[in-house]
Structure 1
Amino acid sequence: MKKSITIIDTFGFLFRSYFALPPLRSNEGLPTGLLTGFTNFIAGIGKDFQTDYIVFALDSKGDTFRTELFENYKAQRPDVPEDLLTQLPIAISWVEKMGFKIAIRTGYEADDIVASIAKDAKEKGLEVRIVSHDKDLYQLIDDDNSVYLFDPTKKQVINEAKCIEKYGVTPKQFTDYQSLVGDTADNIPGVRGVGAKTAQSLIEQFGSLENIYSNIENIEKKRTKELLLESKDNAFLSKKLVTLKNDCHVISNLDEFTLPLENPILKISDELIKYDMTKILERVNKNGLSYKTEIPQSPQKKSIEKIEYILLDNENDLSLAINKIPRDSYISFDTETTNLDTAKAKIIGFSFCYEENKAYYVPIAHSYLGVGNQISHDVARKTIEILNRYKLIFQNFKYDWQIIKNNFGLDLKLYADTMILSWLLNTSEKIGLDYQVEKQFGHKMIAFDDIVKKGEDFSSIELAEACEYAAEDALWTLKLFNRQLDIFKERKEEELLNIAFELEFNFIYVLASMEQKGIKIDVNLLRKYKEMISQYLIELTSQIHQAVDENFNINSPKQLGIILFEKLGFTSYKNTKRGYATDESVLESLKDKHIVVPLVLKYREAFKIQFTYIEPLLEFGLRDKEHRIFSSFLQTGTATGRLSSKTPNLQNVPVGSQSEIQIRKAFVAKDGYKLVGVDYSQIELRLLAHFSQDEALVKAFKEDLDIHLQTAVKIFGEDEAKSKRAIAKTINFGLLYGMGSKKLAHTLGISIKEAKIYINSYFEAFKSVKEYLKSIEDGVIQKGYVKTLLNRKRLFDFQGASPILQAGILREAVNTLFQGSAADLIKLAMIKIHLKYKDNENVRMLLQIHDELIFEIKDEYVDEVKEDIKDIMENIFVLNIPLKVSVAVGDSWQDLK
């Protein structure tokens, strides 16, 4: 097995520990939050990750070669908090006392040390783990040579895929990306006016900074070209500044980096006692910690030696393999394609497995020079039809269903989806096949990026290599499924397993169908909006500059901060590492002090509408000849069970904005159809009434009274009820999600004392509610989980959390119960509606936005169908109080409000 080295970005890690933990102190008043985070990290070695060697990289004091290049490098960093400075030298001394190797060199930063050790370790054949949150180290990620970052807070590996997901560029392109966007934290200039989106787009088009400037005349946007030319020197200076040196440190003697044999925590026991940090010592003495422990070999690993991956590249062998499948077999099935976008993807082959240690790959459309025999499209289709008669197991069925639907016109039948099962077992854990297989079996799977070169797709992979990769997916999917069944049984979670088979698996079909239908966009209206808001932004920019008698970049928090707090002289109560804070809350507090502040708020709103909604939606709409947008709905995207969506995200499209620009108005019905919105009314409050059985709440809902008005009556009395209804509404919904008096006071613009009176009055009026909410919290503390209406479970590590996190967990638990239960109800309704109308072209379910469903229904069927859908939703589940939905019909989404 490949040995590994862990490189700690020491100062970066310690800084994050300081800000992540509460301000802990010893009995004598010494701050210990950073030290606690550090010792917890050391204690986690062997538990959070395994390593053979470890080294702590440190910054050297004084100037570096970067300050020689650019004297203002890091010149504007804010002062380090005194408490942090107090703890830093102690932590560094502990590193040495614990017996760890420290790497440092004058004139270089820790990042350069990390880069150099990583290069040397990579050349020595070691796997390299870099413990850091610093984005500057993303350039070192190298999946091909097992170099990755590890986030110690989230216990998360950051590899090339994470880099691309977050920034849209590969690690090899990261210095080019940073050269364009710059870095205000380190005072790296970049290209003024070029933001993340533009930088990503330029790198995607040209590949590197040098190539961008070599092709400067090919850049279509005039303004972008001008900005690049104006800042050319800064761009190349920035690249020198952000590019890490990898020749300033080598591993001359690998044994020096070996983990200490003695538990390192014990070596500083006297100091831990001195600083009243004895809990970790108690854990060492009681449990021995996980440090330097051997990973027990899983019994499943014995079978790895006998695993066979068989290429079925001729019809005879394929037929023989298919005909040997026993009648009652479970069969895992997986597709290999050209694209993650199911609308564009072409199938290249598929794999399946029904035996313990043998899996098969069927190649269909590999297209490299000299490719061998493959199975015809027609034979592949017939084979899939046969496999579809068995109990099929998938990892992410929704994707494979759409691939087979689009490429063969077949509807795959799901028996089980291991991704959904992973999510149900722990909604907060990673659900990818690679992660789950390594967790359950200790087997590291072949990574896609290890076999498919950038810019190519699976069709270019040689058949033998493709077989090993694809068949491995099928084999371990089946193994994982069998293991998951055992876990449900071991935990006595048969009820949770039933939810998978009776609800969640059926729901996948609904989402797949919605994704295929899409929703129509009025591209002409969006073009009009784009022109309007562009002009509006120009006008606002002029007004802002005139208001302060200075031109500056309004989108730059740093420049805006200088205008507000230096030029205009406002008092700054909230600063960030990068300078003055200028977020919305800060601006709201200043909006009455100068005319420029409300103008900036208007500018930010307009800017967001332009670049978050109008331009992306227009781009998506123009991709389809019918101008329909196809979003991806994520069933496992939230821990509560609510849906999320991406590319584009349609869950947070604003209800309204400026009077003349209504984004939802651009979502329209096709000709001859209407959009119909059906929305559960006050579903979470109804669930509160159902669960708490509070007499006043139940009575109000059963008598169909205005619940907010009734709350106002209870709190404020009959005379003030109508005028205080809005306040009552805020209280009703706020208390569901743990809103305290401070938050309520801020929301309503009242004193905390007054807010406390409101809350106490509410709980006095609805006595059972307070008791019920307390019972949810008690259940989480005692049991470590909360269950929704249909008994879907969310786990919480309450006992292992810090006090500040525990408060958040209690809020999340209440949130999960009500949001999750509402999600249960709407899923039940969607499944029933889908089954009834899935083959009816006159009725299309298009979107789900939390408690609302949007349909596209042919004009002549609207009245009939909307009443039927309303009836289904209101009677999908029997609560103690009636469910109620509102229905709206219109030509656009905006009409449904």
Structure 2
Amino acid sequence: MKTLTIIDTFGFFFRLFYALKGLKNSKGAPSGMISGFANFIYSLQNEYKSDYILFALDSKGKTFRSEIDPNYKTNRTPPPEELLAQIPICIEMIEKMGFMSYSKEGYEADDIIASVVKKCENEDIFIRIITQDKDLYQLIKNGKVSIYSPISKNDYNEEACIEKYGVKPSQIRDFLALCGDSSDNIPGVKGIGAKGAKTLLEQFDNIENIYDNLMLVRNERSRILLLEGKENAFLSKKLASLKNDIEIPNLLEKSIFNQEEPLLKIIDILEQYELNSLLKKMQFNSKNQNRILNFKTTLILDENKLFNILENLDQESIIAFDTETTDLDTKKAKIVGFSFCYNENEAFYVPLNHNYLGVKKQISLQNAKKAIEIIYKHTVIGHNLKYDFKIIQNNFNLNPPQKYADTMILAWLFNPGLRVNMDDLALRLFDYKTLHFEDIVKKGENFASIELDKACKYAAEDAYITLKFYLYFLKNLDPKLLELAYKNEFDFIKVIIMMEENGIKLNTLELENLMQQFSKEIKKISEEIYTLCQDRFNLNSPKQIAEVLFNKLNLNTKKKSKTGYSTDEKVLKELINEHPVIEKILSYRELAKLYSTYCEPLLKLAQKDENSRIYSSFLQTGTATGRLSSKDPNLQNIPAHGQYAKDYKSCFIAQDGFSFISLDYSQIELRMLAHFSKDQKLLQAFSNDEDIHAKTAIMIFGENNYKTRSIAKSINFGLIYGMGYKTLSTNLKIEAKLAKSYIEKYFENFTSIKDYFEQVKNEVKKNGFITTLLGRKRFFDFENAKAMQIAMYERESINSILQGSAADIIKLAMIKIAPDLDNNKKLILQIHDELIFEVKDELCENFVKKATDIMENIVKLDVKLKTSSSIAKNWGELK
């Protein structure tokens, strides 16, 4: 089914204007609406995928509705001059870009849209209407028509319409007839609101039935109001009814969406209104693109042909390489085949282990190993090479090649805030839709069961598109970032592989015993909660907990959403002194989460391994800041605090004759702040090894004690995360005025820090990105941000520099420590600013000295780096 997107144009323009009201170019011309519209067009390819596009326009002057009711829309105030100035520009943009627009004298855009819906009702076309206008919700029909809100980014079908307004799409006209619409001056029935209208329509379906059965309306007041407002009710329904018989000549032919980048036709307008961020994005996305990627896929079943191709390659050739396997888990996966590509004309697939009835003879594993050895002598290009390297290591016992590049890492360096998987990247860079794994592999099967020809198309495409990515980034990635990739990021792949292969040992017997204790404790706490509440209810249901706390026990809370009262941790902690059950509920949740999220799943994983070890997967491109993330399982998220955390972590043990070593950077983000801000007081404090929180306490309060140091610590760390005085007042449970005075006092003492924060905010708004210590960038779209987003971006920009630079440093340290690691000295975990090693007992002391020296001297900064170390037999005992 094809998709036709219709834009309720002027309504859309008005929303853009008010969302981006303050934007102007350097000559003072308003540009918010133009900027928002241009960015909407830019997102058409991905966010609003369409075969046809139509801009529906209101006609000038009065419409037939003004004849029905002279008061229709007369309540509207004239639009601001800044808005009126931008509308002709946006209309010009539509025309220049070649999009179809349509208006008809005497009618509104809504009537144009209704007529299009009517015209296409028997066509194999799905219609998406982009609007904020509730009148148009009457057109919704599942499988045929939806409403898309460009503000909330929600798509509304029949069920979503009912959820939003409480009535079916077919009842929207009746709904407006009853409660009216102040924005269009539709009167409705005076005194009947949305809730009353919903109740009436639930019972009677439409206004005709209501008035035919007026005596059945139970509420006397509503009955009187309906009687008095009958004329307005039927007038309002007329006004809300859409005309659907407007003839639109050659609708589908004229509205075909040309897949070429439409914004290229209005570069002059984009430059005139200085939409620099968008122009930069367009340059990246348009330059040297082939909209249609023509390449040949070749299946290789003959070993002579395979070796003839590989052995005749120039020594300097780059080869894109990809593996196909039976599983995503590299420990379990068997190789099924591999693909490679060395030019933009042809890509090859070499099947090895396809397994189905009638499958042809394939290349032997012995010859496959020889072929991969030849490929590994060249520069190997891959997308997520960590996976392919592990597959080849496990299946052929071959170490990674000397020269390689990973396009997933290059994509992440290019823009760490965007998705870097192959399918999304191909669509974003080349407007190319790749074959999806789910489309060719049935549920419950794996790649081995796929027919060779089908497998060849899929696998060869992967190698080909990987080569295209690499060539694209060679041309478009900042040369400094390309250098960073080759100098550090690609080497880091091997460090992660080593860490993942090592894993961490779990004492399964001890954990089973602990789980029994936890289970008893959970039951005990549950009974205590029931006794305190004098009720039995589902403790895992936030809704039932809310019912007991706020309706039965009558506790006070300010946090209520459309779905009911919140019982999240923040809310409960605010109520902790209100009732003794709150503390019990928090303990129950902590323990229940520990049991179900960490104990059970990790125990199962350890029991599957002969050495009782658990192996996590670490993602190099998993965060925008540059920190490593962990998954399957997430070992970085193991609870560090709470009354049960230490007992649980103590179940992770070093193997016999070994100990765990923790090396943790001390206050590294504060040290980054000192380095970047050049604040002399902060630099001096670190230089003298002073207690930074105590020093801050003295500067703000004139004294250092437990309370003042604690507040100072909250401020020091909070400012790294862009905390404002309101957040500080909430965290410390003090008045906002007092919290504001603390922060002002802080900045009076650390004057350079305040100047630095302002400098970062100004630069990121001007450039659209921040840069970390090693030059990695993170982008922020201030041009299209709302007020709340702007404040969030300002906070994140500061944090991204500090946290991102700390991530740079620990990554450098890991790369430098790695050559000294072996079976007696293993890196097993990285948790943000901390490294955990498993080292033979007799080597621990020397290893700590050497690794500490590397970590503390890995970079030269204006502030000295410091680490703390700890040695223990289990994770719980590490400090």
TM over 0.5: yes
Q: Which residue of 1 aligns with 2:698?
A: 713
Q: Are 2:456 and 1:474 aligned? A: no
Pick one of 532, 536, 543 that aligns with 1:558: 543
Q: Are 2:474 and 1:485 aligned? A: yes
Q: Which residue of 1 aligns with 2:331?
A: 343
TM-score between the two structures when normalised by the length of structure 1 = 0.71
Aligned residue for 1:99, secondary structure, equals helix
Cα distance in 2 between the residues matched to 1:149 and 1:639: 32
Give the residue type in structure 2 aligned to 1:443: Y
Residues 52 and 259 of structure 1 are in contact (CA less than 8 Å); yes or no, is this contact kept in structure 2?
A: no
Residues 352 and 364 of structure 2 are in contact (CA less than 8 Å); yes or no, is this contact kept in structure 1?
A: yes
Pick one of 322, 325, 331 that aligns with 2:319: 331
Cα distance in 2 between the residues matched to 1:368 and 1:420: 36
Cα distance in 2 between the residues matched to 1:346 and 1:831: 29
Q: Are 2:50 and 1:46 aligned? A: no
> Which shifted more, 646-655 or 375-384?
646-655
Any residues of structure 2 matched to 1:854-865 within 5 Å, and which?
854-865=836-847
Q: Which residue of 1 aligns with 2:807?
A: 823
Any residues of structure 2 matched to 1:280-319 within 5 Å, and which?
301=290, 304-305=293-294, 307-319=295-307
Q: Which residue of 1 aligns with 2:263?
A: none
Residues 20 and 784 of structure 2 are in contact (CA less than 8 Å); yes or no, is this contact kept in structure 1?
A: no
Q: Which residue of 1 aligns with 2:419?
A: 430
Deviations, residues 88-134 of structure 1 (Å, cap 9, x unaligned): xxxxx986156356879xxxxxxxxxxx99xx98xx5x7998999xx
Cα distance in 2 between the residues matched to 1:393 and 1:776: 36
Q: Are 2:485 and 1:500 aligned? A: yes
Cα distance in 2 between the residues matched to 1:333 and 1:254: 52
Q: Are 2:408 and 1:419 aligned? A: yes
Deviations, residues 380-424 of structure 1 (Å, cap 9, x unaligned): 001101110001100001010110011111112252111111110
Pick one of 756, 772, 777 that aligns with 1:788: 772
Q: Are 2:829 and 1:879 aligned? A: no
Shift in Å, 1:619: 1.9
Any residues of structure 2 matched to 1:531-570 within 5 Å, and which?
531-570=516-555
Distance change in 2, residues 1:537/1:398 (3 Å): same
Aligned residue for 1:724, secondary structure, equals helix
Distance change in 2, residues 1:362/1:733 (3 Å): same
Residues 708 and 729 of structure 1 are in contact (CA less than 8 Å); yes or no, is this contact kept in structure 2?
A: yes
Cα distance in 2 between the residues matched to 1:429 and 1:660: 35
Distance change in 2, residues 1:741/1:304 (3 Å): closer
Identity in percent: 43
Q: Which residue of 1 aligns with 2:737?
A: 753
Q: Which residue of 1 aligns with 2:712?
A: 728
Pick one of 396, 410, 414 that aligns with 2:398: 410
Give the residue type in structure 2 aligned to 1:736: I
Shift in Å, 1:525: 2.1
Q: Which residue of 1 aligns with 2:352?
A: 364
Shift in Å, 1:151: 10
Shift in Å, 1:324: 2.2
Shift in Å, 1:654: 1.2
Deviations, residues 834-858 of structure 1 (Å, cap 9, x unaligned): 1222xx2100001100000000001
Structure 2, unpaired ranges of 5+: 23-32, 56-106, 132-142, 167-246, 258-268
Pick one of 96, 110, 117 that aligns with 2:110: 96
Q: Are 2:783 and 1:773 aligned? A: no
Residues 677 and 853 of structure 1 are in contact (CA less than 8 Å); yes or no, is this contact kept in structure 2?
A: yes
Cα distance in 1 between the residues matched to 2:461 and 2:868: 49
Deviations, residues 615-670 of structure 1 (Å, cap 9, x unaligned): 22212222212111111101111100011111111112111322586322122111
Residues 53 and 255 of structure 2 are in contact (CA less than 8 Å); yes or no, is this contact kept in structure 1?
A: no
Deviations, residues 773-799 of structure 1 (Å, cap 9, x unaligned): 111111101111111111111111112
Q: Are 2:594 and 1:609 aligned? A: yes
Deviations, residues 235-291 of structure 1 (Å, cap 9, x unaligned): xxxxxxxxxxxxxxxxxx99998598699xxxxxxxxxxxxxxxxxx9999899x9x
Cα distance in 2 between the residues matched to 1:312 and 1:483: 27
Residues 55 and 101 of structure 1 are in contact (CA less than 8 Å); yes or no, is this contact kept in structure 2?
A: no
Distance change in 2, residues 1:128/1:468 (3 Å): farther
Shift in Å, 1:764: 1.3
Distance change in 2, residues 1:730/1:298 (3 Å): closer
Give the residue type in structure 2 aligned to 1:373: K
Q: Which residue of 2 aligns with 1:868?
A: 850
Any residues of structure 2 matched to 1:620-699 within 5 Å, and which?
620-659=605-644, 662-699=647-684
Q: Which residue of 2 aligns with 1:394?
A: 382
Pick one of 565, 585, 590 that aligns with 1:580: 565
Residues 36 and 784 of structure 2 are in contact (CA less than 8 Å); yes or no, is this contact kept in structure 1?
A: no
Q: Which residue of 2 aligns with 1:452?
A: 441
Q: Which residue of 2 aligns with 1:271?
A: none
Residues 6 and 113 of structure 2 are in contact (CA less than 8 Å); yes or no, is this contact kept in structure 1?
A: no
Residues 117 and 127 of structure 2 are in contact (CA less than 8 Å); yes or no, is this contact kept in structure 1?
A: no
Cα distance in 2 between the residues matched to 1:878 and 1:473: 41
Higher radius of gyration, 1 or 2: 2
Give the residue type in structure 1 aligned to 2:48: F
Cα distance in 2 between the residues matched to 1:728 and 1:691: 20
Cα distance in 1 between the residues matched to 2:636 and 2:528: 33
Q: Are 2:513 and 1:524 aligned? A: no
Distance change in 2, residues 1:867/1:574 (3 Å): same
Cα distance in 1 between the residues matched to 2:454 and 2:761: 52
Cα distance in 2 between the residues matched to 1:495 and 1:545: 62
Distance change in 2, residues 1:722/1:417 (3 Å): same
Structure 1, unpaired ranges of 5+: 26-34, 57-92, 105-115, 133-144, 158-174, 176-182, 187-252, 264-281
Shift in Å, 1:49: 3.0
Give the residue type in structure 2 aligned to 1:712: A
Aligned residue for 1:352, secondary structure, equals strand
Distance change in 2, residues 1:353/1:564 (3 Å): same
Distance change in 2, residues 1:712/1:300 (3 Å): closer
Any residues of structure 2 matched to 1:805-824 within 5 Å, and which?
805-824=789-808
> Which shifted more, 561-570 or 634-643?
561-570
Residues 503 and 613 of structure 2 are in contact (CA less than 8 Å); yes or no, is this contact kept in structure 1?
A: yes
TM-score between the two structures when normalised by the length of structure 2 = 0.73
Shift in Å, 1:510: 0.7
Cα distance in 1 between the residues matched to 2:430 and 2:20: 40
Distance change in 2, residues 1:433/1:810 (3 Å): same
Cα distance in 2 between the residues matched to 1:685 and 1:562: 43
Q: Are 2:843 and 1:894 aligned? A: no
Q: Which residue of 2 aligns with 1:462?
A: 451
Q: Which residue of 1 aligns with 2:211?
A: none
Give the residue type in structure 2 aligned to 1:410: L
